[in-house]
Amino acid sequence: MATMRNAYSSEHFRVVHPLQDEPEAKRQSEGLGPIELTPAVRVSLIALRGYLLVMGGMLLYHVLDLAGIFHHLP
């Protein structure tokens, strides 16, 4: 019968809870200026803005419809 060898290495890792960990040094962001957007990122952000506006409008319409606002209009 063949014997099986365990390929697991017995490395030990120390786990530190985030509340008990030492705080990291923060990077300084002063003087960096605005980030330049690539055209693809700019188009994506404009599409996201449009999508959020449409979804917000649809939500507003649905809430007003449930409230019965549109039933009272002539």
Each residue's pLDDT tens digit, 3-49: 666 666 677 888 888 888 888 888 888 888 888 999 999 999 999 99
Domain count, the chain: 1
Establish if 60 belongs to a structural domain. Answer: yes
- In this prediction, residue 34 carries a pLDDT of 85
From residue 46, give the alpha-carbon distance in Å to each of 37, 50, 66.
12, 6, 30
| Phi and psi angles of residue 53, each rounded to the nearest 5 degrees, phi first | -65, -45
- In this prediction, residue 41 carries a pLDDT of 95
Establish if 44 belongs to a structural domain. Answer: yes
CA dihedral for 71, 72, 73, 74, sign (positive or negative) = positive
Establish if 17 belongs to a structural domain. Answer: no
Establish if 11 belongs to a structural domain. Answer: no
Establish if 4 belongs to a structural domain. Answer: no
- In this prediction, residue 48 carries a pLDDT of 98
Q: How confident is the model at residue 2 (pLDDT cuts 50, 70, 90)?
A: low
pLDDT higher than 60, residue 1 = no
